[in-house]
Amino acid sequence: MTTIDGCGESVVLVAGDGPDLRDHVLSSGCLEPLLRHINAETPVSFLRNVTWTLSNLCRNKNPPPPFDAVCLCLPALALLVHHTDREVLSDACWALSYLTDGPNDKIQAVIDAGKLFCHIINLCCHYCPIHPLSCAVSRHLKVGFYGFLLIS
């Protein structure tokens, strides 16, 4: 494991250790630099940590993460759900599941971030290990489905 991998894993573990530490990580300003690591040159092992971190930053409901902070993840998550690595794909779906488990305005923000609804349904049909997760995301997204049809 490289030093940067170890640092990335430390951030992921801190962010996943409850809403207080998650919010501290978010307020530290680490999200934008983290998002810059999502590109075609990023090694898959590091991209897994980045996606896991994003998932942890979107996690917890009591209280939920500040949506104005985590909505910065939406364009990246819209790209990551198309990744071929199953761990990246799974954590991206978890993040979307967390973000869509709430009021309609949050669901609509996820729908507006990209043409995710049809792609999540496709994942439901084709990837067995991710099937329950992508179906959970699609259940959350169904609330805004008619809005999705209008903007597609």
pLDDT at 148: 43
Average pLDDT, the chain: 75
Distances (CA, A) of 47 to 37, 63, 107, 121, 124: 7, 27, 25, 24, 23
Structure confidence by residue, pLDDT tens digits, 69-84:
888 999 898 889 888 8
Q: In the chain, what are the helix, strand and coil shares in percent, each to the nearest 5?
A: 75, 0, 25
* Residue 51: other Cβ atoms inside 10 A: 29
Question: 123-140 in b/e burial notation, b at 16+ Cβ within 10 A?
Answer: bbeeeeebeebbbbbbeb
Between residues 130 and 54, the one the model is more confident about: 54
Contact 96, 124 (CB under 8 A): no
Query: Phi and psi (nearest 5°) for 96?
Result: -65, -35
Q: What is the pLDDT of residue 16?
A: 62
Query: Once rounded to an integer, what is the mean pLDDT over residues 129-139?
Result: 50
